[in-house]
Each structure stands twice: as C-alpha cells, then as structure tokens.
Structure 1
Amino acid sequence: MIKVARYHGVELDPNEFRAASTGTVPTAADLSQWAQSGGMWSRAIRVRWSHLLRFEQTGPVVLLFSDGRAALLTGASAERNLIFLTSVDAPDGAEAIAIDELRLSRVWTGEAVLLRPERSFVAADAPFTFRWLMDLVRLETRPLRDIGIASFTLSILTILPPLIVMTVVNKVLQFNSISTLALLSAVIVVVFAYETLLGHARRMIINVVGARLDTKLNLHVFGRLLRLPLDYFERHPAGETLYHLAQVYRIREFLTGKLLSTFLDLMTLCVLIPVMFYINATLAWMVLGCAVLIMLIILAFLAPLRISYQRVVDAETWKSAALGETVVGIKTVKALGLEPQRKALWDERVADAGKARLAFGQLANWPQTLVTPIERAMVLGTMLIGAYLAMNDSTGYMVGSLFAFMMIAQRVAQPLVGLARLVEDYEEVGAAIGEAASVLNRPLESSSNSVGLRPKLVGEIKFSDLTFTYMGTKTPALDRVSFDIPSGSMFGIVGRSGSGKSTIARLLQGINRDYSGFLKLDGVDLKEINLRHLRQGLGVVLQDNFLFRGSIRDNIIAGRQGLTLSDAMRAAHLAGAAEFIERMPNGYDTYIEEGSPNLSGGQRQRLAIARALIHNPTILILDEATSALDPESEAVVSDNLMRIASGRTMIIVSHRLASLTECDQILVVDQGKVLDVAPHSVLLERCGVYRQLWLQQNRHLEGRRGRLAAVPPGMM
C-alpha cells in the first residue's frame, strides 16, 4: 500500500493503520480504509481474471493472496493472456514477473485494492461555480444518455395521439370507417402501454441521478467545510455559514429538477415543432412568436430582479446570523435575562427580511402578469384563428388538423414558457451559488491530507525570531519571539491578557501558518509538516471544551478507530475522571446531551483531558485548561499533572501562576515579546512582571504570613 501511495505522490502513515496492531491479517477493506484516511481514493473490490487484463495502462493495483501475502499488479497483456506482478518486498525498479491465470488462481481468490489520488474529473479543490456543477452532472454520462434516449422516444410517441385524433376526425368520422377505428384503437393501447413503462423507467433513472448528485454535493460541501481554517469560523457567525450552505439544496433542486426537466422537454420540442409546421405553418409561427415575446419580457426584468433578490439574501443572512447566535449563546441569554433584547433584534431582522421579500415578490409579479395573457393567446388565439382557417378550408381536412395542432400546441407551450422562465430561475440559482461559494471557495487549511512531511515526533520545539500578526491588525501578536522547549519537559507560558500566550498555542497546532521566522518541531519547520500528522501527535485541552452528544466512552474515544473501552478507562484514570465516571449509574455508557448539562465544569474538563490523552500524544497543550475550574477540580487536575506529563512534552498556558510552579521552565511574555524564561524560583527574583503577577494572585498568602510574623511567640 505504501509503495502504491508513493507511486501516486502520497505518503501513508503506518501509525494510522489500526489493523496492524491487532495482529490479524488485514482485509481489503482495512487497507482501503487506511488509504482513504491518508487522503486517497480507494476501493476494496473482488474481480475476475478478465478484469485484470484490462489494467494495461493503469497504476499499480494491490492483489491480496489467500495466504496473507500481497503483490502489486503493474501491467497486463491481453494478447498474451498474462499479467505482471511485483512482490511488495521487492526493491524499487525490480523487474515484474509474468503470471498466467492458472498459477494466479492457486493463491488468489479475487480480492484487490484500487488506489489513486483523491482527485477526479471534478477536482476536490476546484472553485465552487456553475461550471463545476456542470462538470459534476457530466460525470453521470451513462444514466443521462439513457434518460435522453427515453425522452427522445417519448417525444416521438407524443406525436401519435394528435395524429390519431386527426385521422379519426378526417377519416373515421368523415367516411364511417370502422376498420380504421379498430386499428387506431389497437395502436393507442400499445402506445399508451409503452409510454407508461418508458415514463416510469425515465423517472426512476432521474431519481437515481438526483440521489447521486445530492450525495456528491453533500460530501463535497462537508469535506470543504472541515478543511476551512479555524479563523474563518471565528470571524463568521454559525448562522450565517449555515444559511449560505443551505443554498446548496436549492442548487441541487435546480439541477435535478427544472434544469434537467427543461432540457428533456427541449428534445420534445425538437420533434414537435417540425410537426406543428407540417400541420399548419401559420399557427406554428404564432406559437413561436408568443414564446419569443415571453422570453423578451423575462429578460427585461432580470437585472432589477437580481438587485432585489440580493437584498433578500442580505436580509436573510443577517436573520440567520441572529438566530444562530441566540441558539449558540442561549445559556448567556437565559443567565442575563436577555430574552427581550434578543427578541427585539429578531423582530427587527424578520421585519427587514419580510420587507425585502415583499419588494422582490411585487417586482417578480410583473413579468408573470405580463406573460399570462400571452400564454392564453398562445393557446386560445391559435384555436380561434385555426377555427377561422377551418371554416374557409374547402378540402375539409382542416378540422382534424386543428384538433391535432391544439393537442401539440399544449405540449409545446409548456416547454417554451419553461425555457423562458429557466433564465429567471438561473438568476436566483446564480445568487445561491454565490452564497455557497462565499463559504466553500475560501482558502483551505491545507491542499490535501497527504501533503507535507510526517516525521516521528519527539517533542522538541524551537521558536526562532518568530513574528506573527493577525489579519486585520497592524500590531504583531508575537514580535521576534525566540525560546526553546526541550523534549519531555514541562513548560509553562504566562503573561497578562493579550500578551500572546494563546497565540503560541495556536501556532503550535498549525491553526495559523502565515508567520515570519522559524517554528521548528524536532528540527523540522512546522509549515512543512503534514497537518493531520501534526495534530495526531498533539493533545489539546482548551478552557471551554465541547463534548459531543453521545456516551462518555464515545466522547473520550472521539471516534478514533481501534480504540476500546479499556483505552478510555486508562485515559480517564490518568486524567482523574475515573472516580466520578464510575459513580454514575451507567458509568462509561452515561449519555451526554448537547451542552452536557448533566456534568459539572470540572467533570467536563477532566473528560476533555482524557480525550486529549486517549491516543498518547507526544505533545500535550493545556490552554487555560484549569482557569474555569472550581478549586476542588483544579486540585484533582493539578495532582495528576506530573503523571500526565510523564514521557511527553507538556505546555501549560495559564494566567494562574500557582499551577505552573512545578514546570521545568516558565516563559513570561508581555505585549508579544519574551521577557524571560526560567524556573519559578528564578523568575520571582529577576522578572518584575512575573513577580508582580505572583504577588497579585497570592496577596492573601503574603498578608497571612505577615500577620503571623507580628504575633509574639508566647501568644502562639
């Protein structure tokens, strides 16, 4: 697998292959899942010999043998009925061995793994545009071809009923031909039965294509969302993001609904319009003239409608942002009694959205008003003129032709009007694409999970002359910062609010990479390290940690493959969470609701520490992890710090200096600059800022010592 991945320019991490730790023979599904987790496209399949002969110009294919071994299929020759295999242990450049079907069948049962980079005709990193969506639709070539054939056949069948009616009027009624009537009845039965079955098949295929497009869109949208950088979510309300992404469903409905049905109807027009001109050219020109007039009216209103609809989008975005902010911050709203203020804000946003929608609806009503009489004229007008032509027809065949034309005109009018309105619908969908693109086309956190180095992490960190400035500000958050963190040490970071403590933690996590200077991890620049590999070697505990809906066990394991209840118990014990978990009625199966209302702040924090420790990280970052804890919970966590820090590099960002006294080194930062790095006792003597912070936080202890010293010895 690693060889095949390297062939495609991807480096798989053996540590991510969970099946290897179990000691069992990995299956094709295990290998495929490993490749997918490394950022590749992969499928575990079962194929026959005839399929292998088709892999002449493809990349290597992994064949799994029944004895647990594997080989790489590097080529095939259909003419010679041979395939070429290379052992997975063979050195690079080794010559492939030719194998025939008989020899392979003795060791191979048909299992294979296909791999390629996570790219297709619709590139995963391509901008989200209408062209991208059309490329996505074009991938469904085969079912769309079937739909086209079925639609063309149905279009031909739609000609028969009008022609049959014309024949009945002109032949059967005029000449009283019973035999002709019987023949036409038989034809009608056959045509209706065939049309019913074909229509059913077409609708089934359309449903399948719609489901496939819907699935691909959802996977793409969620994948892009996960790869957006954290600072995007910090700058944009959740409600705004969700509203923009919700427009994807309107786009999907347009693609699989109006767009597809309109283009299918165009096939019907290609068949019916020539028949209309064949029956009566005068009436046919009337129908086409009305359709062109409808198109011109709709085009005239497009620009004003686009401007008006943009106002609707802006108003709805602000409304969704207010709703999302209220839901996310409902605890604060309830605690501070802010319901009236939030309701007033919501009323204002709803009123703005209502006004915008009303204005858009009133403007959109005008083209509909102007188009309606033209639509009626298209049907009724042609009928009246056709009746006039029939009265002046000496041959007597115009009556049947008029009936046939009216039936065809009704089938033609709807697609023509639909084609005209498709332009109007496209404008709205174009706005929806713009809204979704405002989220999906943001710069991604990394180009791919497979990009970057994957060094073995030891935990040695070095900042060298590093400067970092947040977007939209001019003052650097970190200004020419330099310090070292030895591997396996316990390192504290302290400073006043806004001094840059948490910025250091963010840079270590790779959240921000646009810094100058150097940040090296085990001698490798952090910018060159694969983000996924980096974060799998990190354990991070924040001040306010989010617990997912589910059991305590699921939250500790956090969905990581291959981990069991015993792993969760080990991490909980190390974090000091085991004692309260075991007191709960359902223990590790205790269900946590959204917002974890059944847990205290200290319990949530200890679960977060257990979750960070579950995969035994090389580096553990505690970013103000104890600042919101009660004294009892903080004492439990502090008592376990030495056990937690054993064998790993621990970085503790805190404004509580008492939690840093056991650190090997403490970094003091102020206004983005390094003031000093030393142990606690040394900093008290030589660092004025550290000493001032210590005295502020421990003034009560110093006062108590002074009072005790003033008491005479005999009074003690």
Structure 2
Amino acid sequence: MAAARYHGTDLDRDDLRIAPGTTPAPAALVEWVRNAGLWARGTRLSWRHLMRLQTSGTVVLLLNDGSAALMVRADAARNFVWLRNPAATTDEDGVAVDELRLSQVWSGEAILVRPERGGSMDAEPFSFGWLARMVWLEKKTLRDIGIGSFVLSILAILPPLLVMVVIDKVVTHQSLNTLLMVAMLLGAAAIYETYLGYIRRELILIVATRLDAKLNLHVFKRLLGLPIDYFERTQTGAVMYQLGQITKIRDFITGKLLSTMLDMVTLCVLLPVLFWISVPLTWMVIGCAGLIALIIAIYLRPIRRVYRHWMNAEIAKSTVLVETVHGIRTVKSLALEPQQREAWDRRTADAAAWRKALGDISNWPQTLVTPLEVFLQRGVLLVGAYMALTTEGMVGAGALIAFMMLSGRVSSPLVGIARLIEDLEEVRAAVSLAANVLNNRPETTSPGAGLRPRFEGGVSFRKVEFSYPGSRQRALDGVSFDVPPGTMLGLVGRSGSGKSTITRLLQGINREYEGQIKIDGADLREINLAHLRRSFGVVLQDNFLFRGSVRENIIAGRPGLTLTDAVRAARLAGAEEFIERMPQGYETVVEEGSPNLSGGQRQRLAIARALIHDPRILILDEATSALDPESEALVNANIARIAQGRTMVIVSHRLSSLTECDQILVLDQGKVMDIGPHLELLERCQVYRQLWLQQNRHLDTHKPAGPKPVLAQGD
C-alpha cells in the first residue's frame, strides 16, 4: 500500500481477495496493484540485480516471514541497500542492509511497481491493433520459435537436395560410398529435425496457452467493468453470442496466425533455393499463388455483406434461446411452448437461409481456385518434365524431383497465406462483434482513484435532476432532502415516481446526474466506486443466489469470514430458524435458480448476505413485495433490529410496512412532495393520504356487509 501511495494511488485491503492473516502470493499482490491502475510485475532478483537496478518505480522485497520491505536506494560503492518498513509513517531512508544480512531474510522474490506508461492495454479499445500488441508481448518466445523454424526450413532443404544427388550422381555413377554418406546425413537430419520439431511445438503450445489465458482474462475483466445499465438495455442473447466470437478469435490467433508466421519463415528460406534450381518454375508457383490471392480478394466484399446478415440472424436466434432458458418458468406456466417454438423455427430458418447464401458465395472462389491448386501439384511437374526433355541442361531429372519436393512445401504456405485473407475477413467480423460489447464505456476508468471515507450513514440530496438515456421525462426533478446517520427512511410513491432511481444513484449505478449527492459530507462522484458499494448492503425484490452452499452464499465476496460470521448474519436476518431445519444446515447446496428455497427464504438469505459485512447503509428495494404475508411479517419483524446503528432506505409500495420509519419521503413524478413521519404525512400530505386510503379500504368499518356465505347442502 505504501508503494502504491508513493505513486498517488490508494489500495483498498478489501480488493485483495485473501483472508486476513494469510500471506498473499506474489501473483495476488500483482493483480491487486494492477486493478488499482498501476503497472506491477512479480520477479526474482539477486543482489547483483539490486545493485544495478534502475527504475522510476518502487521495489517491494517480499521477505521469507511473510512481511515486506521497500527498497529506497542502492549504494553500489559501499555494497548496501537501504530498506524501509512499509508501515513507517515517515519518508526516512530506513536502514542499510548488506548482502549477507539480506540473504538471511530474503530469497529473491520482489514486486516492481510504477505508473502505467503510454496507457494500459486494459484501457485500450478491443481491436486488431490490441490483438497484435498482445501477440507482440510474446516476442521473446516467438523469436525462439522463429529461430527453430528457420533451422527446420534449412533442414527441409537437405533431403530434396540429397535426393537430387542420389539420382544425378549415385545412380548414374553407381557410387555406394556416396550413397552411404547420403544415408548418414539423412539420418542425422531426421534426428535433429525430430528434436527441433518437438521443441517448436512445445513453444507454440506455450504461446497459444498464454495468449488464450490473457484474452479470456481481459474479456471477462472488461465485461465485469461494464455498467449495469448496459446489461439492462442490451439483450442477454446478443451479449452472449457476441462474446462467443472470442473463441473464433482465439483459434485464429493461436492457430492460423502462428502457422502463417512460421510459413513466412519457410518461404524466406525455400524460395531462394527454388530460384537456384529453376527460375521459370519458381515464377509459375508464385504466379499461381498470386492468382489464388486475387480471386479470394475479389470475393471478399460480397462475402462480407452476406456474412454480416448471417451474424445478425445468428444473434436473433441466440436471443430466443437465451430468453427461453431464462424464462422457462414463465414459458411453462403460461403454456408458451408453441409460441417460443414458432419464434425459434422462424429464427432458425432465417439463419439457415443466410448460412446457405454464405456457403453458395464462398463456394465460387473455392471452385475457381481448385484448378490453380491442381496445376501447382501436377502442372508444374509436367512443365518441368517438358523443359527437361526439350531444353538441354535447363533442369535435370534429379533437380526436377527436388524442385517438386520443395515446391510442395512452398505452394502450401503461399496458398495458406492467400487464404488467410479470407480468414482475416471472418475474424474481422468476429472482432467487430466482440468490440460491440467490450468497447462500451466502463463504469470507471480509474479503479484505484477516489475517496475511501469511513461512512456513518448521513445522506444528502441537493437539487438532483436525472433522466434515463433516451427518455425526455426526468426521473428526478430537483430532489432535495437530508437524512442524518441512523435514520430509517421510507420511499413511497406511485410507479415511476423515482423511488428506485434514488437508490440507483446512491449505489453509483447511474452517475450522469445534475445537482449534488453527498454521503457524510463527501461528494458521491469523488468516492471510490468499489468502496462505495462495499459500504452498502442491498436487497432487491428478486435476488440472485449462486449455486453453492448456504454458507457460501451468505459470505459471498467476503473472503476469510467464518461460519460464525454467517450464523450471526443469518440470525439478524431471521434466516437461522429455517437454515437449521435444512438437511445439511449451512452446508445445504442451493441449486441453480434456487428452486429448493421459497421466496421468503431467498429474501432472508439475501438480507443475511447484505448484513455480513455490517454495512452503515442498508437499502431494501421492494424487498418484501413478492413475499407471502407470513414471510413478509417475519422480515418486517426483524427490520427494527436490523436498523440499529445503521441508516436504512426502504422502498415499498406497501405503506403499512413503513409506518415505523423515522422519516418517509413521498415522491410523485420525480418530485419531492413531502417528508416526515407517518402520522404527520397523513395529516398534511394529500398524495400520501390518498395512497394510504387506497391500500387500507378494508379497514373501513362503515362499508355495508355483503351476503353471508353459506355451505352448500347436499341431497
């Protein structure tokens, strides 16, 4: 934390995903620092490296006992390094340590920390350029692969040349000694080629695995960084399909792209040899490959147009599938299977039609290219044989056979490079689809920036105005109110009055508002977003529970908490009594979609999860509206106990559940109509009184009674 603070960034201990008291691994520390917007790298250093280290950043030495030390500077003349305790509050140089003393407490692990230079790749738009830069970061391994490919290409030249020698020299002059020497050379080349091939495949596998991991980590991190409102206005099926294109991009980068790079090395080595054997035949090979590339290039634009239609049809089909799976309960309960099947059939037919059109138009270049490929394989042989028969000394029989052996290794890369144009077009479309998701503006561009105050729970709105994107009507219009710490605040109003909008603004979900929102005097926009949300407890009307045990769901996101903490939160939320009746208690597995829990049980688990870290501000947004009366009574009975020592913001359509609130804020069409206790609002606020009377008509004792029900009498 001291190293990050030196570069003007504060680290939040809660971002380090390890239990308190546990020694973090270097990789976890590096990820912690990177998530805060700094550059960090874990490495192993020796004393010699420390003496020669020149860096504009800071060096953190990870000591053997789990602690750490900051290296202030190195004194090569006196063979000392100056170390400082990261917890020290002063900027003193620390203490001088020699090599012997340091080696007793330090084994070489260190973390280098500095600001990002030229922008982080995480912040760059997802594009072909970003992918190229990611590949370039593996340049050292790619260099080794290139060297191995160069040597293998040279070895690939040897067998055809030796075959040429055998035909032109050994067979003609009947030389067994020459044949023996040729056989020994071929055997040695085969052994060396086998070894180099194994090493090259291992290096390619390493590069492919690292690129695959980096790509997937980046994609998921960018996905988590997108704002909630993006997912609210975008179809889930479209998002899933577009992100599914990452698989196609990954296969291209780790497969065809690497193969093409290696083919280029092969061409650089083999083409000069082919020109040495026969210039006319070599130009024939190159000319055919050029014609293949020209045919593919001509068809790129129509293929691109049809491919775009096919992608859109596939997105529409994926949307129907995802919506059906997510809403399967509604589909089954309303017997919507015929309608969904009809929609699926229609989307499938549309996608199949465009897939057929794409196949038809892609078939033409393949058809036109086939004769050229046949000529490369057989025509060149016939032309070479004709040249050998008609042109004296132009090309011999052995040279012709050697040329055909080598041209096969050259023509395939040339055709592959030509076809890469077509593959690039497909991957370009995949990159564009994935970029439609990943290049949306993230919630915050500086994860480590912002204030991290200790909240007490005071909330203040000052002339806040807000409109949702695409809407002309203001969701909040000049809203102003103050809530002191420890207040139980109820939000009431008709649908669309702005109740949930206030809670969204408090959580930082929407930040494009006018006016001022403060929490304990700190402007909401200046507070670190992750710290803000960790300081809140939020319970929604429909809460999602993860597949896992009850205990894991309660302590989700709070590493290091124990079963005792889970029991305490469950008891406070009123969930302990039904958890203990479960077959395995707190280790009972919650299935996907939590079908083995009732609505009231899910809500109480959600409240326990919200209370696990003892938040200073707790938001209940229609948390009881979907519950049965008994479950709602249980939750409401615990609210007074839950509210002790914290600010509560309760959104509810049922005014009867808010009568015990300290203050009730009445909203209508985005404006504040009044704020006060229940009894005062009944007297002075017409909107509140009208809502109360609408919901409590059954309490009117003057209403005439209906006919008395009687039991039907049987014969």
Give yes or no for the alignment of 1:674 onto 2:684.
no
Distance 1:93-1:559 versus aligned 2 partners, 3 A rule: closer
Q: Deviations over 1:368-418 (max 9, x none)?
A: 000000111122111111111111244596111111111111111101101
**Structure-2 separation of matches of 1:607 and 1:396:** 87
Q: Is the contact between residue 58 and residue 75 of structure 1 (CA under 8 Å) also seen in structure 2?
A: no
Q: What one-letter code is carried by the residue in structure 1 that aligns with 2:465?
A: T
Q: What one-letter code is carried by the residue in structure 2 that aligns with 1:8?
A: H
Distance 1:274-1:472 versus aligned 2 partners, 3 A rule: same
Q: Is the contact between residue 536 and residue 615 of structure 2 (CA under 8 Å) also seen in structure 1?
A: yes
Matches within 5 A, 1:84-483: 84-95=82-93, 97-108=95-106, 110=108, 112-116=110-114, 123-395=121-393, 398-483=396-481
Q: Is the contact between residue 56 and residue 75 of structure 1 (CA under 8 Å) also seen in structure 2?
A: no
Distance 1:189-1:20 versus aligned 2 partners, 3 A rule: closer
Distance 1:383-1:68 versus aligned 2 partners, 3 A rule: closer
Q: What one-letter code is carried by the residue in structure 1 that aligns with 2:186?
A: I
**Structure-2 separation of matches of 1:290 and 1:70:** 64
**Structure-2 separation of matches of 1:64 and 1:482:** 51
**Structure-1 separation of matches of 2:219 and 2:511:** 24
- Among all aligned residue pairs of Structure 1 and Structure 2, give the percentage whose two residues are the same amino acid: 59
Q: What one-letter code is carried by the residue in structure 1 that aligns with 2:428?
A: G
Q: Deviations over 1:631-665 (max 9, x none)?
A: 00000001100110000000000110011000000
Q: Deviations over 1:172-224 (max 9, x none)?
A: 11111111111101111111111111111111110110000000001100000
Q: Deviations over 1:568-589 (max 9, x none)?
A: 1000000000000001111001
**Structure-1 separation of matches of 2:25 and 2:143:** 37
Deviates more, 1:530-539 or 1:252-261: 252-261
Give the SS at the match of 1:540.
strand
Q: Is the contact between residue 56 and residue 77 of structure 1 (CA under 8 Å) also seen in structure 2?
A: no
Q: What one-letter code is carried by the residue in structure 1 that aligns with 2:220?
A: F
Per-residue deviation at 1:281? Answer: 1.0
Distance 1:353-1:379 versus aligned 2 partners, 3 A rule: same
Q: Is the contact between residue 387 and residue 394 of structure 2 (CA under 8 Å) also seen in structure 1?
A: no
**Structure-1 separation of matches of 2:680 and 2:394:** 115
Q: Is the contact between residue 56 and residue 76 of structure 1 (CA under 8 Å) also seen in structure 2?
A: no
Q: Is the contact between residue 36 and residue 446 of structure 2 (CA under 8 Å) also seen in structure 1?
A: no
Deviates more, 1:279-288 or 1:513-522: 279-288
1:629 aligns with: 627
**Structure-2 separation of matches of 1:39 and 1:698:** 54
2:11 aligns with: 12
Per-residue deviation at 1:87? Answer: 3.6
Q: What one-letter code is carried by the residue in structure 2 that aligns with 1:95?
A: D
**Structure-2 separation of matches of 1:33 and 1:382:** 57
1:591 aligns with: 589
Q: Deviations over 1:325-362 (max 9, x none)?
A: 11111111111110110010000111111011110110
2:500 aligns with: 502
**Structure-2 separation of matches of 1:595 and 1:81:** 63
Q: Structure 2 length normalisation: TM-score?
A: 0.94
Give the SS at the match of 2:197.
helix
Per-residue deviation at 1:482? Answer: 0.6
Distance 1:40-1:639 versus aligned 2 partners, 3 A rule: farther
Give the SS at the match of 1:583.
coil
Q: Is the contact between residue 59 and residue 74 of structure 1 (CA under 8 Å) also seen in structure 2?
A: no
1:711 aligns with: none
**Structure-2 separation of matches of 1:550 and 1:117:** 39
**Structure-1 separation of matches of 2:118 and 2:74:** 24
Give the SS at the match of 1:250.
helix
Q: Is the contact between residue 490 and residue 658 of structure 2 (CA under 8 Å) also seen in structure 1?
A: yes
Give the SS at the match of 2:282.
helix
1:710 aligns with: none
Q: Deviations over 1:132-191 (max 9, x none)?
A: 000000110111011000011111111111111111110011111111111101111111
Give the SS at the match of 1:465.
strand
Distance 1:418-1:626 versus aligned 2 partners, 3 A rule: same
Q: Is the contact between residue 294 and residue 374 of structure 1 (CA under 8 Å) also seen in structure 2?
A: yes
Distance 1:485-1:334 versus aligned 2 partners, 3 A rule: same
Q: Structure 1 length normalisation: TM-score?
A: 0.94
Per-residue deviation at 1:41? Answer: 5.9
Per-residue deviation at 1:31? Answer: 5.9
**Structure-2 separation of matches of 1:20 and 1:399:** 75
Give the SS at the match of 2:150.
helix
**Structure-2 separation of matches of 1:216 and 1:16:** 21
**Structure-2 separation of matches of 1:387 and 1:45:** 61
Distance 1:552-1:37 versus aligned 2 partners, 3 A rule: farther
**Structure-2 separation of matches of 1:7 and 1:687:** 55
Q: What one-letter code is carried by the residue in structure 2 that aligns with 1:197?
A: Y
Deviates more, 1:217-226 or 1:24-33: 24-33
**Structure-1 separation of matches of 2:420 and 2:27:** 45
Q: Is the contact between residue 460 and residue 480 of structure 2 (CA under 8 Å) also seen in structure 1?
A: yes
Q: Deviations over 1:8-61 (max 9, x none)?
A: 221023566788965x88887886676567565656666542343343324222
Per-residue deviation at 1:426? Answer: 0.4
Q: Is the contact between residue 26 and residue 111 of structure 2 (CA under 8 Å) also seen in structure 1?
A: yes
Distance 1:706-1:618 versus aligned 2 partners, 3 A rule: farther
Give the SS at the match of 1:703.
coil
Q: Is the contact between residue 63 and residue 112 of structure 1 (CA under 8 Å) also seen in structure 2?
A: yes
Give the SS at the match of 1:675.
strand
Distance 1:89-1:345 versus aligned 2 partners, 3 A rule: closer
Q: Is the contact between residue 38 and residue 114 of structure 2 (CA under 8 Å) also seen in structure 1?
A: yes
Q: Deviations over 1:547-574 (max 9, x none)?
A: 0000000000114111111111000000
Matches within 5 A, 1:49-88: 49-65=47-63, 70-78=68-76, 80-88=78-86
Deviates more, 1:612-621 or 1:111-120: 111-120
Q: Is the contact between residue 541 and residue 608 of structure 1 (CA under 8 Å) also seen in structure 2?
A: yes
1:524 aligns with: 522
Per-residue deviation at 1:102? Answer: 2.5
Q: What one-letter code is carried by the residue in structure 2 that aligns with 1:411?
A: R
RMSD: 2.3
2:691 aligns with: 693
**Structure-2 separation of matches of 1:396 and 1:32:** 65
Matches within 5 A, 1:553-702: 553-702=551-700
Structure 2 spans left out of the alignment, 5+ residues: 706-715
Q: Is the contact between residue 308 and residue 429 of structure 2 (CA under 8 Å) also seen in structure 1?
A: yes
**Structure-1 separation of matches of 2:266 and 2:622:** 67
Per-residue deviation at 1:267? Answer: 1.0
**Structure-2 separation of matches of 1:126 and 1:8:** 22
Deviates more, 1:268-277 or 1:44-53: 44-53
**Structure-1 separation of matches of 2:69 and 2:596:** 53
**Structure-2 separation of matches of 1:180 and 1:192:** 18
Deviates more, 1:11-20 or 1:436-445: 11-20
Distance 1:25-1:168 versus aligned 2 partners, 3 A rule: closer
Per-residue deviation at 1:277? Answer: 1.1
Q: What one-letter code is carried by the residue in structure 2 that aligns with 1:181?
A: L
Per-residue deviation at 1:689? Answer: 1.1
Deviates more, 1:65-74 or 1:475-484: 65-74
Aligned residue-pair number: 706
